[in-house]
Amino acid sequence: MSRGGRGFTLIELLAVCALMGSVLLLAGALVPQVSREAEGFAAAQERLEERWLAARLLRADVHRASSATVINGSLILQTRGGRVAWAPAEGGVARRAAGARRFRLEGGARFRTEDLPGGRLVLYELGVGADGLRGEALAGRDLRGAP
């Protein structure tokens, strides 16, 4: 048989099929690994958002407080709306007040206060490790009152 200018030989077709099979096999092995990486990234993002939300709410509570004390590791704030307590809880920290909420934070939470000439500084640590969040908050008025 004579070969015309157009068309492929059987050997060429088999070589292309083998090459495509190898590429598909490699892609099939990589898809689960990429999927696991994406899930890990999503979980890390969720942990960071949880810490950020807890810190934002904590700072807002401290800024509204007329007094702040730490008793047995719990932060007690007296606000116009009543008492707000932030307490380490298993696997995170719990906010006890109207609109109570529990935040999942690896490493829990630690609170401490320091007296300053303008009031009381509240120092906090939410979670531990590389993605732990440390901060401080100070209200614009004297926070040295009793809880």
Q: What is the pLDDT of residues 94-111, one digit of tens each?
A: 888 877 788 877 777 888
Question: Which tokens hold the place of 3?
Answer: 């070969």
State the pLDDT at residue 20: 93
Radius of gyration of the chain (CA): 29
Could you tell me if residue 81 is left (phi over 0), alpha (psi between -120 and 50 degrees) or otherwise beta? Answer: alpha
Whether residue 76 is predicted with pLDDT greater than 60 in this model: the reply is yes
Residue 143: band (very low, low, confident or very high) from pLDDT cuts 50, 70, 90: very low
Least confident of 7-11, 40-44, 103-107, 108-112: 103-107
Q: What is the pTM of this model?
A: 0.64
Cβ–Cβ < 8 Å for 91, 103: no
For residue 8, report the phi and psi dihedrals to the nearest 5 degrees.
-125, 155
Least confident of 3-12, 87-96, 128-137: 128-137
Cβ–Cβ < 8 Å for 137, 126: no
Task: Give residue for tokens 């040295």.
Answer: 144
> How many residues make up the chain in this entry?
147
Residue range 14-24: mean pLDDT, rounded: 92
Q: What is the DSSP letter of 144?
A: B
Question: What three-state secondary structure class fits 143?
Answer: coil
Residue 130: band (very low, low, confident or very high) from pLDDT cuts 50, 70, 90: low
Whether residue 11 is predicted with pLDDT greater than 50 in this model: the reply is yes
Query: Which residues are paired to 68 by β-bridges?
Result: 77
Q: Mean pLDDT across the chain, nearest whole number?
A: 78
Pick from 68, 63, 50: nearest CA to 133: 50
Q: What is the pLDDT of residues 52-74, one digit of tens each?
A: 888 888 888 888 888 888 888 88
